[in-house]
A = this chain, B = another copy of it.
Amino acid sequence: MSGVNKVILVGRLGKDPEVRNLDNGAVVANFSIATSESYKDRTTGEKKEVTEWHNIVLWRGLAEIAQKYLRKGDMVFIEGKLRTRSWEKDGVTRYTTEIVGDNMTMLTPKTGAGGGASQEYSSAERSPAESMRTNAPVDNSTDDLPF
């Protein structure tokens, strides 16, 4: 790899995630989250707000967690990378920029069994034991999705 491509977002889901099971067995979730910024209009002095919508794509384990736990209006932390796809429509090439998430923390407390705190999920979890400079670390969290 060459370079760094990182996005960090905290925002709310505009709708429930759309989750699909691909033919090859992969699971993918799509949803949008909004971030907004307020500022004072220079000429009128009014306080205004600009909302930005971000298209999130999650794969495999993260997609399944999104499907189970994320709902419209929930706040999430998403870490991922930018990816722009092109596609044809009516003979016109269009471009969509998405954030492919590899790390997610739910910031809206989930009520019910065990609910409460935020919960982070990663597409490549790694044990913190390796941070502890002692012996016997490491959970090589295998990835047992069917592909």
Contact = CB atoms under 8 A, between A and B. Distances in A.
A41 to B, nearest CB: 7
Contacts of A117: 2, 12
A102 B126 contact: yes
Given A77-B10, A82-B54, A95-B95, A59 B3 contact: no
A38 interface: yes
B129 A126 contact: no
A140 interface: yes
B52 A83 contact: yes
Number of chain A interface residues as a range: 35 or more
A76 to B, nearest CB: 10
Nearest to A4: B10
A143 B139 contact: yes
Contact of A1 (B1, B37, B135, B137): B37
B7 A6 contact: yes
A12 B85 CA distance: 20
Shortest beta-carbon contacts, A-B, top 7: A1-B120, A97-B97, A3-B35, A124-B124, A4-B10, A39-B127, A42-B138
